[in-house]
Amino acid sequence: MLRYSFVAISAVAAINLLLTDIILVQILLGLCLATSLGIAIIWPEPLPPPPPPDLWSDAPETKDREMKICSSCGKAVDKKWSMCPYCSKKV
Ligand SMILES: [Zn+2]
């Protein structure tokens, strides 16, 4: 869609270039024609397709860290810890 508008701009610029007699306007229209036509040619069409929605569904549900239950307050604590961060007792 954007590509067609650039094609239209370049076509209008080409028509104006043929109709005008002023050198400055001719230079500006030439620049406009070159850039818009260049963008229309270079512009990637269509856009790359969006990634599939199930791309990240393979991620593991479980956490990779081992947990254990604090013996005094009953909260889940990282297995490597020796002290509970909630009740500051020895796990
Ligand atoms: Zn605790």
Q: What digits encode the pLDDT tens for the residues 10-20?
A: 777 778 778 88
51 or 80: which carries more pLDDT confidence?
A: 80
CA distances from 87 to 71, 72, 79 (A): 10, 8, 16
What distance in angstroms lies between residue 79's CA and the mean position of ligand 1's atoms?
13
Residues near ligand 1 ion, CB 5 Å cutoff: 70, 72-73, 84, 86-87
pTM of the full structure: 0.41
Q: Are 33 and 14 in contact (CB under 8 A)?
A: yes
Q: What's the CA dihedral at 12, 15, 21, 26 to 10 degrees?
A: 50
Mean pLDDT of 42-71: 76
What distance in angstroms lies between residue 60's CA and the mean position of ligand 1's atoms?
28
70 or 9: which carries more pLDDT confidence?
A: 70
What distance in angstroms lies between residue 29's CA and the mean position of ligand 1's atoms?
76
74: phi then psi, degrees, rounded to nearest 5:
80, 10
Q: Are 75 and 84 in contact (CB under 8 A)?
A: yes
